Amino acid sequence: MSAFRPSSFCLFHDLDSAVQSPPNFAFHSYCKSSYRAAGLAIIRRMTTLDASLPAPPADKRLPGDLAIWVFILAEMLAFAVFFAAYAFARAHDPALFNEYQQTLDRNAGALNTLLLVTGSWFVVRAVQAAHRDAGPAVARNILLGFLCGGGFLVVKVFEYAAKFGAGISLSTNTFYMFYISLTFFHFMHVILGMVILVVLWLQARKGAYTSANAHGLESGAAYWHMVDLLWIILFPLVYVMR
Amino acid sequence: MNALHNPAHRAWLILLIATGITWYLGEVGAAGTGAIVAMLAIAFVKGRLVILDFMELRGAPLMWRLLLEGWLILVGSLILLAYWMSLK
């Protein structure tokens, strides 16, 4: 985000000067000067004179890289469409959805919520440990977060085994089509999140994350929290709400 | 009690309790408008804690808070609308 600050600073600066100009010149000079400001901002960035500009306030900071947040938003949008599709499909046949929802293992779903929430908690503790340069605690908490993810997968595999063992498949009915595809789509995201945690863990063991640079850790952590956030909607929606 | 000064610890504790409440509502077979609104409200509180205290967006630029919290409101509203339609 800091990339945008120098130009916005310049624009506001020029807006002030435009307001102070005579009225007939105001708009014209504002347009000209804002182009000039944008150009100057680019030149400043290219010549790395940013340091001479006022630093953005330390409390307004997006953790991790901008790219991971764009990716997270795209993923969340895909899940939003999926959640809405489930809810509106249910509106066409609430009786069917209510009947087959009863066959789901709510205890397993709730246990998995606890596992993901706790996994997320360990990973935020890893980020906090990096910020206070508590080296070994970073890797340890990432590993604990990974184990919670592993627990989630084990519970889910047992749940799927029970359903598939009973002869249930995607084509059994609309409810099971949504249940299997929605939870499996999420399942894949848990696996990707765990792959990311392995990469973070290997880096953390080398002492890569410190108070000076925890960007990579923050980016991976944000993805892991997204996996948690999605399940927080998915669990009540598919397992409980009727 | 000192541990609860850390927002992440506080969020984790609330998330555990909230998950327990949703599970309990399922156990007692809560259904209908009241149950749906209660579960969506719990999911909103939980999602917001994850966004603000786990993703640590409490101190992020306003745009990012609005995008993530707006997603929660959007998803919750769509679900509410669909369930309201199913009750008619």
List pLDDT tens digits, range A92-150: 999 999 999 999 999 999 999 999 999 999 999 999 999 999 989 999 999 999 999 99
Residue of B nearest to A2 (CA): B61
A160-189: string of b/e by CB count within 10 Å (b at 16+)? eeebeeeebeeeebbbbebbbebbeebeeb
> Which residue reads 């010549």 in tokens?
A47
What pLDDT, on the 0 to 100 scale, is given for residue A60? Answer: 82
A66 contacts in chain B (CB < 8 Å) = none
Distance from C-alpha of A127 to C-alpha of B8, rounded to nearest angstrom:
11
Per-residue pLDDT, B76: 97
Averaged pLDDT score across all residues of chain A: 84
- In chain A, the residue whose alpha carbon lies closest to the alpha carbon of B32 is A242
Taking residue A217's Cβ as centre, other Cβ atoms within 10 Å add up to: 25
Q: Read out DSSP for A88-127? A: HHHHH-HHHHHHHHTTS-HHHHHHHHHHHHHHHHHHHHHH
Q: How far apart are CA A210 and CA A132, in angstroms?
A: 7
Q: Where along chain A do the CATH 1.20.120.80 domains lie?
A: 66-240
Fold of A66-240: Four Helix Bundle (Hemerythrin (Met), subunit A) (1.20.120)
Q: Which of A118, A227, A233, A238 to mutate to test the interface with B (most CBs of B within 10 A)?
A: A233
The shortest C-alpha distance from A32 to chain B (Å) reads 28
* Cα torsion angle, A63, A66, A68, A72, sign: positive
Q: How confident is the model at residue A47 (pLDDT cuts 50, 70, 90)?
A: very low
Which residues of chain A are within 8 Å of residue B60 when distances are taken between CB atoms? 60-63
* Residue A76 DSSP one-character state: H
Measured CA to CA, the distance from residue A210 to residue B72 in angstroms comes to 32
Sole residue written with tokens 């120098």: A6
Element of type H or E holding A144: helix A135-165
d(CA A142, CA A120): 9
**pLDDT tens across A4-41, in order?**
444 443 333 443 444 444 444 444 444 445 555 555 44
- Tokens 């595999």 correspond to A157
Strands of chain B, DSSP E: none
The answer to whether A128 touches A233, Cβ cutoff 8 Å, is: no
Task: Decide if B66 contacts A72 (C-beta within 8 A).
Answer: no
The encoded tokens of residue B44 equal: 């909103």
Residue A158 has pLDDT above 60, yes or no: yes
Q: Residue A37's pLDDT is what?
A: 54
pLDDT in tens, A173-232: 999 999 999 999 999 999 999 999 999 999 999 999 999 999 999 999 999 999 999 999
Q: Is pLDDT at A56 greater than 70 in this prediction?
A: no
Task: Please give the pLDDT value at position A8.
Answer: 40
Which of B46, B50, B75 lies nearest to residue A80, judging by beta carbons?
B75
ipTM of this predicted complex? 0.95
Residue bearing the bigger pLDDT, A161 or B86: A161
Chain A stretch 187-226, residues whose beta carbon is closer than 8 A to a beta carbon of chain B: 218, 221-222, 225-226
In this predicted structure, the answer to whether residue B27 has a pLDDT above a threshold of 70 is yes
Looking at CA atoms only, how far is residue A25 from chain B in angstroms?
Answer: 33
CB B57 within 8 A of CB B51: yes
Q: How confident is the model at residue B3 (pLDDT cuts 50, 70, 90)?
A: confident
CA distance A22 to chain B (A): 34
Mean local confidence (pLDDT), A45-71:
69
Q: What is the pLDDT of residue B2?
A: 72
